[in-house]
Structure 1
C-alpha cells in the first residue's frame, strides 16, 4: 500500500487505513480530522501527551534557533511538539518501523522540513560533529546495556539543556555521604539512598530489552558524573539538566587517571 507523504484533504478513513498499515504504534499521535494512532493506549490515558503536558511548562515556549536531538524518537511525538515551538530537530532511532511511522506522520502534520529522521543508535552519536541546544533523552536509558557510556556521549553534545527520563526504583532517598569510605566499610552500599542500579538479567515487565533500573540517588549521581546539573523535576522519573563546567572538569580529571585510552573512549582525547 502506498503511503502518501501529505494528504491534500483529510480523509479519515484513508488515514485510518494508513495508520493500520504502519502499526503497531507506541506513540498516540493526534492527526487531522481528530484521528489518533493509539487512542486506547495500554499505559492509560493519552500517551505520551499526558507526559508532555507535565514537561511543556519547563521549556521555553519559543525554541526558534534551537537545535534539538531526540534520542529514541519512536513515532516522533516529542520531535513534533518541539518543532511546533520552532526548533530544528534531529530525531534518531534504531527501529525502522518507528522511523517509517515518524516520517509519514511528519508529512501528514506538515513538519517534514523541521524534523530530520535518521536510523542511528545512541552510541553512534559519537560520530556526530555538532552540539545541541536541547538533548531529549527519555525512555531509552534503561534499555541500554552500557547506559553510562551513552549518557557521557550525550552530555558532551548538550549545549543548554537535557531532558532525561528513565524507569526507576521506588523511593527518593539520598545517602548523605558518598564521598569516600574505607574498603572495610561497605554497609552504606546497602542503604536505600546509596546511588545504585538493579541489573535485569532476563526481562522486566515482560521486556527483554530492559537492562537496568536505577534509584533516584543513582540517577542524580550519574548525571553529575557526566557533567550535568539537575535544575528541575518536571514529573516523576523526569530530570531537567544543564551542563555544569565544574562537574565536567571533575569528570575529566577523574577519567584522566585511567590513561589516554579510556579518555579517548569517553570522547575527551583531542
Structure 2
C-alpha cells in the first residue's frame, strides 16, 4: 500500500520508524523526517557518503528533465533527482521489496516519483528515452552486463548516463592499440589491461555479485556501448554522454523457446 504524500508527511516519527522497520532491511540509509533507515550500514552513511563526492558533477537544476533510475533500490538517487527539480523521475527495480521501500520513502519526503517493477533487460518496454539515466551499482549484479549497457544505449538514454560500479583489481590505465597479433599474449597480464572478473559463487556474501571490472574495463565497456566519458568525479562514478555506438556494437535479442 502506498500512502499519498500529504498523509505520509504527517506521520509521527514513531509511525515512520515502525513502518520503515516493517519494510526492512534497507540497503539505502535514508533520512525519513529524522528517522534513518539503515544507521548501522557496513558502508557508513550509504549512499549519501558516495553522493557527496560527485553531486557537484550533476546539474543543480534539472527543471524540465526526465530521469530514469535503473536499479533504484530504496530510492535515494530518485529522490535526489526530484529534489533538483526533475520534471519526471521513474525508478525501476526487479525487487518488489526495494520498490516498496522507495515508494514509502518518496511519500514520506513528499516527492512525486513513479516506481515500476522492471528489469534493465526489459527497458525497451518503456518505449521512451530519458534525458538522464542513472545506472548506479547495478552492473556487477548482472549475468549479462554488456547487454545491459547496449540496451540502455539503444532504448533509454537520450543524453547523460550517470554510471557507477564496484571496481576491483588495478586502477592503472594504459593505451590499448586498435589491434594485436594472435601471438601477442603479454598485454593480457598487464595491470592496465581491461579485465572483467567473474564470480562463480559469492562475493561479500552476495550470490548476485557476478562480475567486477577493473577501472580500465569499466571505462572500455562504457565506450564500447556508445557512451563518451565526460567526467570521472569519484573513483567509481562516471558522467557520460550518449554518442554513436562503435561499429559492431548493439544489443542481442535471442529467440525465446516455448517454455519462456
Paired positions, count: 250
| Structure 1 counterpart of 2:149 | 151
Specify which of 134, 139, 142 is matched with residue 141 of structure 1. Answer: 139
Deviations 1:58-108 (A, max 9, x none): 011110111111010011010001001111111000111111111111111
| Structure 2 counterpart of 1:259 | none
Closer, same or farther in 2 for the Cα pair 1:8/1:142, shift >3 Å? Answer: closer
Deviations 1:84-143 (A, max 9, x none): 1111111000111111111111111111x3x11000011001222111111100110000
| Structure 2 counterpart of 1:167 | 166
Deviations 1:13-37 (A, max 9, x none): 11111111111111111112x1111
| Structure 2 counterpart of 1:186 | 185
Alpha-carbon RMSD: 1.8
| Structure 2 counterpart of 1:254 | 248
CA distance in structure 1 between the aligned counterparts of 2:76 and 2:9, rounded to whole angstroms: 22
Matched-pair contact (CA < 8 Å) for 2:91–2:114: yes
| Structure 2 counterpart of 1:100 | 100
Are 2:11 and 1:17 aligned? no
Closer, same or farther in 2 for the Cα pair 1:264/1:108, shift >3 Å? Answer: same
Matched-pair contact (CA < 8 Å) for 2:174–2:193: yes
CA distance in structure 2 between the aligned counterparts of 1:36 and 1:149, rounded to whole angstroms: 36
Structure 2: gaps spanning 5 or more residues: 255-260
| Structure 1 counterpart of 2:120 | 122
Structure 1: gaps spanning 5 or more residues: 256-261
Deviations 1:207-236 (A, max 9, x none): 111101111111111111111111111211
| Structure 2 counterpart of 1:232 | 231
| Structure 2 counterpart of 1:30 | 31
| Structure 1 counterpart of 2:205 | 206
| Structure 1 counterpart of 2:109 | 109
Ranked by relative contact order (alpha carbons within 8 Å, sequence separation 6 or more), the top structure is 2
CA distance in structure 2 between the aligned counterparts of 1:108 and 1:208, rounded to whole angstroms: 32
CA distance in structure 1 between the aligned counterparts of 2:2 and 2:161, rounded to whole angstroms: 34
SS of the residue aligned with 1:224? helix
Q: What are the within-5 Å matches in structure 2 for residues 35-114 of structure 1?
A: 35-44=35-44, 46-87=45-86, 88-111=88-111, 113=112
Deviations 1:152-189 (A, max 9, x none): 11123211211111111233222323311111112211
After TM superposition, give the deviation of residue 8 of structure 1 in Å. 5.5
SS of the residue aligned with 1:265? coil
CA distance in structure 1 between the aligned counterparts of 2:189 and 2:78, rounded to whole angstroms: 40
SS of the residue aligned with 1:60? coil
Q: After alignment, is 140-149 or 205-214 more displaced? A: 205-214
SS of the residue aligned with 1:21? helix
| Structure 2 counterpart of 1:265 | 253
Closer, same or farther in 2 for the Cα pair 1:199/1:83, shift >3 Å? Answer: same
Q: After alignment, is 9-18 or 117-126 more displaced? A: 9-18
